[in-house]
A = this chain, B = another copy of it.
């Protein structure tokens, strides 16, 4: 079974941090934060992270689409403790990139998330421009 690599569980591996409070609606009959709800928490952190990149997709006539999401659940997460999501850019390709994130409760990693994004314009995939690429590189995740 695939496990998260150990550096992914370390908050110091990610440059950006955000606090997201769980909602009652995140809970499922097992009494913990549901795995899909955790995906929603990562999604909100991702949107905030992308604001850092300094360009809103709508400003460019392009769409930033989610191509893949890979979630690993490390520990059960519980309500109502704050979830701290830490994020950093992973691989940067021509028109796609990966965002590495990890969620923590009480300083313990509860889940990791790798999101592959792709930038599309009216004529298909769109090359990541140098300005955005520079911001991405400045916010890379790294093995600490």
Contact = CB atoms under 8 A, between A and B. Distances in A.
Interface string A15-58: 00000110111011111001111011101101110000000000
A118 to B, nearest CB: 7
A75 B28 CA distance: 20
Contacts of A27: 28-29
Given A67-B1, A71-B68, A72-B67, A40 B30 contact: no
Contacts of A35: 39, 43, 66, 69
A128 interface: no
A113 to B, nearest CB: 10
28 contacts: A1-B68, A2-B68, A2-B116, A21-B21, A23-B44, A24-B40, A24-B44, A24-B46, A24-B47, A25-B34, A25-B37, A29-B29, A29-B31, A30-B65, A35-B66, A36-B36, A36-B39, A39-B39, A39-B69, A47-B80, A68-B70, A68-B73, A69-B69, A69-B70, A69-B71, A69-B73, A70-B70, A71-B71
